Structure formats: C-alpha cells, structure tokens
Amino acid sequence: MGTPKFNPEAVTKIIRERRSMFPAQFKENDPVNESIIEEILENANWAPTHKLTQPWRFIVYTGAGLKTFGDYQAELYKLRAEKNGTPFLEGTYQKFKENPSKASHMIALLLKRTEGSGIPVMEEISAVAMAVQNMYLTACAHGLACYWGTGGPTFWAEAREDFGLEGEDMLMGFFYVAKPATDQWPAGRRELIAEKVSWVRE
C-alpha cells in the first residue's frame, strides 16, 4: 500500500473552521441521522493511542435517553446541594434537567485505564482528547452543531459508580450533537501563532 494522498487545503479548512455551538443554537426535535453519529464514533476510534490501549469509551444518549440523563443530573445536583450544604439554584437545576433534551445526541466521554499498561495517565487523557477532536471535526464536516462540555457530573465523585468508573478511570465530560438552528456558522478568532512559538535552530 502506497502513501495515502490527502488534500492539505481541505484538512486545514476543517481544522480552522471547526466551531463549538451550544444548546441555545440547537435545532430541537430534529434528530441527526444515526449513521452520522456512528461515523463520529468510528472516527473517534482512530485517534492516536500509545501501545494501542484505546482508553476511550462512550455512552450515547438519544431520544428518551436524553430526558433520563437530564433528570439524573438534575436530581444528583439537588442531592449534592442538600448533602454538602451548598446553595441550590433552581435555574441551575432546570438547566441540568432541560439542556440534554435540546440535543439530538449526547455522548458521555469516559477514560478507562488498562491495568498494568504502564502508560502515564496524562497520555491516556490526551488520547481521549484527540478522540474528541476527531468527533468535533467529523460533526463540523457534516455541518452539525456540537460542543464538549465538562459540567454536571463530570467531576462529581457520586457519579463515578453510575458510570462504571474505577481506580484511575475518569469521566471526561459530554459531547453534544444537534442540527444547528441557524445557517450562520460562528466566526472564530485566535492570537497570532508567532506569539506562542519559540524556535531553536542551532
């Protein structure tokens, strides 16, 4: 098999025009074709991974599953507030409850450690993050609205067992996918790369 031929201009375009879009920008009640979701997940599976540990795992919520998750995280938020004596905000509760159902699909992002692999945790986190970048690029290539969020149960210890996490396993947030409610693609901005790079030439 020879060297694959890529289109550098197309690669550059999708990388630079990838954007996050949030629930307020989602077109509700218009599901994304599941074959596209499967393509997003398949492309995630091709992220770089040291020693092929492939630490990414995904749980896909759609249809009534989105309401199930929304109810779950809202009630867990309420329970944590009562248990920890922290302020309970009705607006936050409703946001936790309602936002998942605004998406077509929501994908929980899990890092599962391979026992005895010897791979540093940072490398496994990086592998999952690269898998998510593949998801981002694929979703945006299909003109979909998407974002990676780390709110809700992501850092709640009480949620670990619910997601089957043990030891150094991690919940790394949630990837939301929907059709956009507008044809106005968000603009992006970055500071100049020259301000972030040092060169050593000798």
Domain range holding 127? Answer: 21-196
pLDDT at 100: 98
In a domain, 58, yes or no: yes
Contact 74, 100 (CB under 8 A): no
pLDDT at 115: 86
In a domain, 14, yes or no: no
Percent over 90 (pLDDT), the chain: 97
In a domain, 2, yes or no: no
In a domain, 5, yes or no: no
pLDDT at 116: 86
pLDDT at 2: 87
Question: Which tokens is 162 given?
Answer: 């619910």
Cα gap 37→179, rounded to integer Å: 12
Mutual angle of helices 121-141 and 8-17, in 10-degree steps:
100
In a domain, 3, yes or no: no
In a domain, 117, yes or no: yes
The parts of the chain modelled with pLDDT lower than 50 are none
Q: Which of 18, 69, 55, 52 is nearest to 187 (CA)?
A: 18
Indicate which CATH number applies to the domain containing 137. 3.40.109.10
CA dihedral for 109, 148, 132, 185, sign (positive or negative): positive
Contact 140, 18 (CB under 8 A): yes
Q: Give pLDDT tens digits for 95-118.
A: 999 999 999 999 999 999 998 889
Average pLDDT over the chain reads 97
Cα gap 150→12, rounded to integer Å: 27
In a domain, 164, yes or no: yes
Number of structural domains the chain divides into: 1
